[in-house]
Structure 1
Amino acid sequence: MRPRIRRVLEILMRSDDWIPVSALAEETGAGVRTLFRDLLELEYFLRPYGATIDKKRSLGVRLSGDVSKLAFRGKNEQTRISWMTAEQRQLSILVFLAFNPRTVKLAEIATLFSVSDSCVSSDLKDLDAVLERSSPGVLIVRQKGIGVSLEGPEWRLRAAALDCIVQLLRPEQLLQVVRASGESGPIGRMAAVLGMVRDRERIVDAIARAEKRLMLHFSWADLSLLFVYLGLALKRKTVRHEGVEPVFLSPAALSVPEDVARDLWNSLAASDPDETVWLRAVLSSLEAGESGESVSVHPAVPRIVKQLSASLSAGGFTGCEFDPRLPSLLEAALSPIVCKKLFSIPVAGQFSFERLSFPSVSESSYDAVVRDTVIPLARELAGVDLSMRDLEPVRMALLTADGTLAPRKPNPRIVVTCLEGLCMAHLVTSVIRGSFPEVVVVASLSSDRLGEEWLAAERIDLIVSTFPTGLSSADEYLVSLPFDAAAFRTDFAKKISLFRARPDATAAGRSGSGEWNISPGSSDASAAPASAAFPEDAESAVDAPISLLQSFRLKLVDAPFLEEGLTALIAGEVAKGKKEMLRLKRDLDERESYGQVVLEQSGIRLFHCRSAAVGKPVGGVVRIAPGAPGGAPAAAMPGATYVYLIAPDPAKPGEIAALSKISVALIEDESFTLALRTQNESGIRKRLFAVFASSF
């Protein structure tokens, strides 16, 4: 808030009487016309706090409404976006107008983005040109003295808004909006101010139910796109429109059952046939997040893939020999692109990456085959115009052809996951398999399906991801984006060499040779150390179980006890000082923000994290006393059992291995989980000793 406006607010708060504008101008040292402009800006600041300014000719102005919340400092930053470039601001203005289907004053937009009215007018002129070029029929309507609004065919208007959002936010930023992470940061504030995050919980729950009906999980990028579309549709559901275009009535492109789309919409708003048709088109255009999961492909896609295979074979692309998995991967990559183009839904931009060469022909010839085959067939069979940029996912799928053979030895075991889409995960997988044949890729995922139980059950040693997962059951390697295969090979070889130097580093390695060799094709194979002897790690493999046995405690808590206080209780039990306790609670809360870990077999809830607040691995049990009433709705159930496992940060391999043994026992050893739920501290330690003894 500017100093003069803050001064005006202070003057108005001093009295409930009418204050002449001339008196305000005299006291603030500004002109009367300037004061009228300041009062208009002040109204927008007051609106979120339930207050307003009454104006009366010949009497003046005064505050009205609930003024009890006006003792704030700096909160105006929560209702303004002042950090954007001119291009970002223009995109945001269009998104704001789409999410607010009403006539908006220029002064409101100017205040929102901390610019002048003339700057907003200039931005609107630039937007006119953009809309004329990319979204014919969508117009910014100006009413002199009243304001501006976004008008036009409803579906084209929504598609234009989605396109602006895709240009404005990267996939991982959109995912932050969906997950409500970083709400206090610039992305979270921007989404809130533009109106993109209302009804977040209802929309997320409705999407989860739709995924269950379809028996699949959408990729992170397309899940975020669906979330934003539903928010936009709910804001615009009352806008009158002229029905749906014929393209939305084509059964060939609508692969999602109508009742799924109808039930999804009806769970959020009143029944509307047109909204159901539009939503069905959006759902049919989304990419599945895992291999083997897919909405039915567009009828034209199998023919396009078959012709592409024949063209590549005729062109001498010996590196593109299709294995049984590749055609289905190509169909899963191409079908969402065709459907999105058919319905004018934006295709999220793919990260750029180094272009890999095929052994027998030049790269330009390869691109020519894809361009000359896929683009004309898509136009002929599906009626859509594709560009090479749109076909990047298809290209990445083709690049996996050299790496689809299974590795010879199952060491080490990794999972590859990506928020951008399944094709990026498969591209990273193909590079790993081509250069590191000793590494086995257990799965390539795109959706948020990873969990501690799954990692332990599949004996995963390393998570290769484009986005921090926050999981602690396996080490994590973050892929640098934009993806560069040569740089990735070099850096990943270093990561594998560190694993190779660590004794007993993987679950698979414990029963095998324990010696991992980097593929001779790796550019960094010579960097791997000849010796794999870290004495301090070998020592930690013995010390860590002993430390856990000595420190493992049982805490009995009387009911009622609110679950939200568990992290504070655990931190108080483990940490030695107040500073360490606060640090550990923050680390536990941060891990919990990614989602609760509940073991399905036993019903035990697991708290775990890495924290610099502890110097050695710590574990224990919190058990709610049985037989007592539960109390408040958020209270823990009587007899509920909670296990906490805390690793130091940084942690030695032996310490992580000891905690992993407990994690595996929580999943596989029923006698151990029974002891945690029923026995005293001595009995629990006896079972814990048996867990460690069985692995030596």
Structure 2
Amino acid sequence: MTSRLLEVLKLLAGSSNYTTVEQIAEATGAGVRTIHRDLEVLERSLSLRGVRMERRRGFGVRLIDPVPTRLMESAGHMRGPSVAESGQRPLLILLYMILAADWIKLSEIAHVLFVSDSTVSSDISSLEEILPDSVFIEKQKGTGVRMLADETDIRMLFLSAFPNFVPVYLLYGSENDGDSGSGEERMIRLIGIRDYRDRFFTIIREAEDVLGYRLSPSSSGVLYSYLFLLARRIPLTGNLRRLSPSGLNIPEIYIQAARRMMTVDAWELLSSDSDTNEEVLLLARVLASLETAAASVESVEEYLGDLWGPVNAIIEHTLGSLEGSRRVWLHDDRLLLNYLRMTLSAAARRIDLGIPGWRETGLHPYPGLEDSPEAASLVTQFMAEMDDRLPDISPSKVRREIQEASLALGAHIEVLQSRHAPELRVRILCLEGLGMSNYIAALVRDVLPRGVLIDSQWDPDFEENQVPGEYDLVISSFPVKIRGCRHLIIRVDSSPEDIRAQLREAAADLERPGVRPENDEPKRPERKRDVVTLGGQAQDLSLPVIMSVISGFFVEKRQARSDLLSQAVLALSERGDCNTEILRRDFERRESYGSLVFEELNVRILHCRTEGVPEPRAGVIQTVPMEPTVLVLAAPLTASPVQTHALSEIVIALTDFGDFADVLARGSRRDIQGRLLTLFSQKFG
């Protein structure tokens, strides 16, 4: 805002009566015609912030609504050559046009951004080259520009563009947080998005209560921005009248959450003069496309709806491929499996929703990670299972949308393959999602091979509740005030090598005298071993579970007259406490996705998660020399990682201990049980 416009605003805000144009011109030293133009710009700018201006012939002009103090303060900050850098400016213009929802003059945009009309025109031309085909910018001489598109397409474009311009942490911050001189902070102040913070977070919490889980911080930010868009556009355009058809059904749980959001006291966004059904359905589709902070619920089937079958097929094919190549058993962590189901389902619904990939959003946000084995396998299986459901699907789009799932999966593999006695405690605070949090955790273990206890669970109140000295190192992807330990802020779009370099520097600081907390800091809890689950909670092997698996480990010779599945089911059910029908069904279902075979070890792993067993169980079916030995693993669907970790350690032992495969193939039950006791003792003491 120019100094003259700010002066005019202060004159109007300081008077409850009409002020004539002549009086304003005299006070500012400008001409009457100039003041008329300024008032047009000011009226438009204030209307976007909910402040109405009345211009009455013969009386003058006055403000009907009071000007928020925050708006006056933010206007004072807007001095200098430009609100946004040249690279950001087209994106800011796009957001400004979407929020305006009508014709807007180039001169108004130029005034707001402190640039010339010709610069705005050039930026709009550059926008036209990269916008989706469904969005058109109409230009009319003397009137200005406006955006033409289906309302749903405009909203999805906003959801694509807004998070790339405004960092999520700025939505959570207070009015005085952040760098008031940055383009992002000025954008926040300019559009007044924080004015709705208490109301919108109340609405979001209501939705989370219905869903039964918390959204990831970045997804909360997306939902917040969508509510803000509704608050801006619906008063001007009315409620949504037609919703583009979807190739996927909307699970009822999301429709219930959307209806709940529209009934809370804080909701005043919808127009009361038309039907709200289409708005409810679109909001439900947006909710279903958002990612969870952690899949803490026991069962996630109701959240997937008609995607339950194809998503499970994607996961099983992917895990089978990775288990074979990385020599791990990835079915041990129920939280991981549920998180993958929820994340892949959300990715499919984002593609179906039509959130366009353009400019920055068309690129992978984590350079160097898009070609990871986990991402490659997930993309291949996703394309195979979703091709007939999502007509506009492409490998590049899928790769971008499944990034959190591939990061979480890769990080879990790293956890299984690198277990050490911890000497450091690290806290990770990452707004980008649980997958990125666990990816950073994997890099930490790579840099600190001696071991580290890591907590990567999201805590929005960490800054207030932190205990000085509780951690040796806190790593965050956004500014946060940390007390009593080393703090490292990283850019998540940095390459893995750059992040490792930052971690090495932080690790070197921890080795220097005086860096660690002093002895008079609060005493820290006794350290545990580093086996971290998806939710960021440190877990350990359970001795009772280990002994139960070892004592119940069966050893049988292959029976030629019985099929393999029947023999495995009977062996696991020897105690008489299994449901053999369910157990066989789940073995058949898992095998339908392909068998897991470690060819160079001549070992086949027959495994499943099932309600047919009451506890984790294992055994081996020994075969003739030319056939692979069959390692049998079964774990309850609801078993925690602590309960199932012993099974994954048996699989890892095939690689870690060169003779273990031979012991399984030819050893007696006593020999194998003794070897299991030895390997668990060597690994965990």
Q: Residue type matched to 1:318 in 2?
A: R
The answer to whether the 8 Å contact 1:320/1:402 transfers is no
Which residue matches 1:532? none
The answer to whether the 8 Å contact 2:379/2:395 transfers is no
Which residue matches 2:571? none
Which residue matches 1:284? 288
Deviations 1:318-342 (A, max 9, x none): 2665252254443344332222111
3-state SS of 1:149 partner: strand
Deviations 1:255-307 (A, max 9, x none): 63422210112321357211111111111111111353696344222211211
Which residue matches 1:104? 104
Aligned counterpart for 2:501 among listed residues 487, 491, 499: 487
Distance 1:7 1:450 in 2: 42
The answer to whether the 8 Å contact 2:315/2:341 transfers is yes
Distance 1:330 1:69 in 2: 47
Is the counterpart of residue 330 in structure 1 residue 340 in structure 2? yes
Aligned counterpart for 2:456 among listed residues 444, 447, 452: 444
The answer to whether the 8 Å contact 2:21/2:35 transfers is no
Which residue matches 1:429? 441
The answer to whether the 8 Å contact 2:254/2:285 transfers is no
Which residue matches 1:344? 354
Which residue matches 1:555? none
3-state SS of 1:103 partner: coil
Is the counterpart of residue 229 in structure 1 residue 226 in structure 2? yes
Q: Residue type matched to 2:442 in 1?
A: S
TM-score when normalising by structure 1? 0.58
Aligned ranges 1:350-369 → 2 under 5 Å? 351-352=365-366, 369=377
Q: Residue type matched to 1:218 in 2?
A: L
Return 5+ residue gaps in structure 1 as ranges.
Answer: 357-362, 517-696
> Do the aligned partners of residues 419 and 2 (structure 1) sit closer, same or farther apart at CA in structure 2, a change above 3 Å counting?
closer
Q: Residue type matched to 2:431 in 1?
A: L
Which residue matches 1:538? none
Is the counterpart of residue 168 in structure 1 residue 160 in structure 2? no
Q: Quote the sequence identity (%).
A: 23
Q: Residue type matched to 2:219 in 1?
A: D
Distance 1:475 1:263 in 2: 43
Is the counterpart of residue 402 in structure 1 residue 414 in structure 2? yes
Aligned ranges 1:486-505 → 2 under 5 Å? 486-498=500-512
> Do the aligned partners of residues 391 and 11 (structure 1) sit closer, same or farther apart at CA in structure 2, a change above 3 Å counting?
closer
Distance 2:259 2:153 in 1: 21
Aligned counterpart for 2:213 among listed residues 209, 212, 216: 216
Shift of 1:429: 1.8
- Paired residues in the alignment total 493
Aligned counterpart for 1:302 among listed residues 312, 319, 323: 312
The answer to whether the 8 Å contact 1:340/1:346 transfers is no
Is the counterpart of residue 114 in structure 1 residue 126 in structure 2? no
Deviations 1:9-49 (A, max 9, x none): 99999x9997889x979x9798x977765665576689889
Deviations 1:185-241 (A, max 9, x none): 543432242353442211111112222332322111111001000111232235254
> Do the aligned partners of residues 152 and 6 (structure 1) sit closer, same or farther apart at CA in structure 2, a change above 3 Å counting?
closer
Which residue matches 1:311? 321
Distance 1:164 1:319 in 2: 41
3-state SS of 1:425 partner: helix
Distance 2:287 2:230 in 1: 14
Return 5+ residue gaps in structure 2 as ranges.
Answer: 531-685
Distance 1:65 1:237 in 2: 23
Distance 2:490 2:349 in 1: 29
The answer to whether the 8 Å contact 1:415/1:460 transfers is yes
The answer to whether the 8 Å contact 1:139/1:152 transfers is yes
3-state SS of 1:247 partner: coil
The answer to whether the 8 Å contact 2:213/2:295 transfers is no
> Do the aligned partners of residues 144 and 334 (structure 1) sit closer, same or farther apart at CA in structure 2, a change above 3 Å counting?
same
TM-score when normalising by structure 2? 0.59
Distance 2:180 2:293 in 1: 29
3-state SS of 2:475 partner: strand
3-state SS of 2:224 partner: helix
Distance 1:73 1:372 in 2: 53
> Do the aligned partners of residues 156 and 489 (structure 1) sit closer, same or farther apart at CA in structure 2, a change above 3 Å counting?
same
Distance 2:67 2:517 in 1: 58
Q: Structure 1 stretch 342-351 or stretch 221-230: which is displaced more? A: 342-351
RCO greater where, 1 or 2, for CA within 8 Å and sep 6 or more? 2
Aligned ranges 1:595-674 → 2 under 5 Å? none
3-state SS of 2:88 partner: helix
Q: Residue type matched to 1:491 in 2?
A: E
Q: Residue type matched to 1:275 in 2?
A: E
Which residue matches 1:465? 476
The answer to whether the 8 Å contact 1:247/1:343 transfers is yes
The answer to whether the 8 Å contact 1:4/1:28 transfers is no
